[in-house]
Amino acid sequence: MGGTTHFGFQRVPEEEKPRRVAAVFASVADRYDLMNDLMSLGLHRLWKRFAVALAQVRPGERVLDLAAGTGDLARLLARDAGPSGQVVLADFSGPMLARGRDRLLDEGLGRGLAWVQADAERLPFADESFDCVTIGFGLRNVTRKERALAEMHRVLRPGGRALVLEFSRLRLAPLRPLYDLYSFAVLPRLGRLVAGDEASYRYLAESIRVHPDQHALEAMMREAGFEGCEHYNLCGGIVAVHRGWRA
């Protein structure tokens, strides 16, 4: 028998969480980009640029972008990998992957890109097949985060690096009540008005609170085999970028 895990503040059977997460992203796919801009006041674009800069992708490298969604990170990674490189966009959600593929192809960015629907806990790629692996705002939705981190380590070549961009723990304690008010009162209402889905954005706020904090995630990366692990807090720790290397 399987155990239980968090789905927001709820405890659900582990085998049930992937179905629930898939339903969330199928619901929000069409308004995902607009909601990101509204929720973060556009700051998510700067966070993603910072993560890509830390990835240090060089021309000709092969990059795997997990939870690729609508392709924001992949667009930037492909620019750095250049025409001789490749970026593989993988996502558990078929609707999100289709949305991202259509968006990037419409922008004329298909060259050097590939799309794969895949579970981060069971990646369909060979050992040591990528120079860099990224995951942006997706790890907290994974049922068994330790398995996803182990898979990221497995598919990296020696000397490769993994980047985890994710919501984290606000380090400025005096601002936490205001942040909670925004998260639990404003975000769900914004989701209802813009995306017609209040519940999914309530889950978003809850999933952030039960996600491992900066130091806990860094420890999980070390346990998965990564070396030189470090993290960078953005906006006071609302978001953090973790980086680790495969020896």
Question: Would you state the pLDDT for residue 164?
Answer: 98
Q: What is the pLDDT of residues 161-196, one digit of tens each?
A: 999 999 999 999 999 999 999 999 999 999 999 999
Question: Would you state the pLDDT for residue 73?
Answer: 98
* Three-state DSSP class for residue 138: coil
- Look at the alpha carbons of 80, 50, 164, 178 in this order and tell me if their dihedral is positive or negative: negative
Domains for the chain: give ranges and CATH numbers.
Answer: 4-21+42-170+212-245 (3.40.50.150)
Question: Would you state the pLDDT for residue 211?
Answer: 97
Question: Would you state the pLDDT for residue 192?
Answer: 96
Question: Would you state the pLDDT for residue 173?
Answer: 94
Dihedral angle over CA of 161, 41, 23, 150, nearest 10: 10
Tell the burial category of 69 from Cβ atoms under 10 Å away from its Cβ (0-12, 13-18, 19+). buried
Distance (Å) of CA 178 to CA 9, 43, 159, 173: 20, 18, 41, 10
Question: Would you state the pLDDT for residue 13?
Answer: 96
Q: Which of 172, 182, 209, 241 is nearest to 6 (CA)?
A: 209
- Per-residue model confidence as pLDDT tens for the chain (247 residues): 579 999 999 999 999 999 999 999 999 999 999 999 999 999 999 999 999 999 999 999 999 999 999 999 999 999 999 999 999 999 999 999 999 999 999 999 999 999 999 999 999 999 999 999 999 999 999 999 999 999 999 999 999 999 999 999 999 999 999 999 999 999 999 999 999 999 999 999 999 999 999 999 999 999 999 999 999 999 999 999 999 999 9
3-state secondary structure 182-238: HHHHHHHHHHHHHHCCHHHHHHHHHHHHHCCCHHHHHHHHHHCCCEEEEEEEEHHHC
Question: Would you state the pLDDT for residue 9?
Answer: 97
Tell me, what DSSP letter sits at residue 143? S
Question: Would you state the pLDDT for residue 158?
Answer: 98
Q: Which of 75, 82, 129 is nearest to 104 (CA)?
A: 75
